[in-house]
Amino acid sequence: MLAAHEVPAEQHAAATGRFVFTAWAGPALPVFYQLPEEVTADTPVVFVMHGVNRDADRYRDEWAALARQHGFIAVVPQFANTDFPGSLGYNTGYFTEEDGIPRPRALWSFAAIEPLFDDIRMRFGTGATHYSIYGHSAGAQFVHRFTLFMPEARIKRAVAANAGWYTMPDRDIGFPYGLGDTPVSAGSLAAALGKPLIVLLGTADTDRADPDLRKTPEADAQGLQRYARGQAFYARGQSAAAASGVTFGWQLERVPGIGHSNAGMAAAAAALIARP
């Protein structure tokens, strides 16, 4: 009889591929993946969250060599704009409708990751008990908010790279720039501040003229470009943890000379994820 993490050899998928995930309460998700040379009971799982263009296939391709190099399964779910419209539907979690009416927790975009992890474990035969999750740009917005909203998630490491703007870990600031009027309680925030979240910043991601950079007064209060905003987010987390008397688990890491590029950030992120 096979152990729970084992899959018969004839059922193993191709090393690079795509499948459709339906085992959750939300819409069907196309999932792009890259396997390492060998999948064992100890093979790690890394979720890679795409950016605003919803181009999961490109993100998978940019992480393919890294998955083989470091021996992990790269998993890139695609949140189509039709089912997860705009920043509301994807990178801010889709926990309310556009009119502010709360949505069931099982339908949040954040809610897809945990059941997808269970599917990946069974589908590919890894016995990993926790996963890492990385996102760049809009994907980094997803990742840092996922950490704040889902403190029970089985995260080994979370890496938020070059987010354009942030939900600050402050329940006195209204959402989406803070956690006011969200389901994140004081206890949930304390747990999130202890999570292994890495704020990964390209030191050259400083283009104020980037048309994709949010320039609202609330975003500009975090800094005038992405590099400054990332440092402000980390500092706010540090001060929130100190004020609450909880252990601070976040890290701030910089990638010298890299601007707003997933391909430029991916190698540094993969190395951080692969650390013992």
pLDDT digits (tens, 9 = 90+) for 72-94: 999 999 999 999 999 999 999 99
Count CA atoms within 13 Å of residue 160 on its CB side: 31
Number of Cβ atoms within 10 Å of the Cβ of 204: 16
Residue 112: exposed, middle, or buried by beta-carbon count in 10 A (0-12, 13-18, 19+)?
buried
- pLDDT reported for residue 14: 79
Domains of the chain, first to last: 18-274 (3.40.50.1820)
The residue to which tokens 């969200």 are assigned: 182
What per-residue confidence (pLDDT) applies to 4?
35
Beta strand residue intervals within 16-149, DSSP E: 16-21, 29-34, 45-49, 73-77, 131-136
Q: How far is the C-alpha of 243 from the C-alpha of 245, rounded, in Å? A: 6
Tokens matching residue 177: 């720039």
Instruction: Tell me what pLDDT residue 8 has.
Output: 37
pTM over cut 0.85 = yes
* Structure confidence at residue 98 (pLDDT): 94
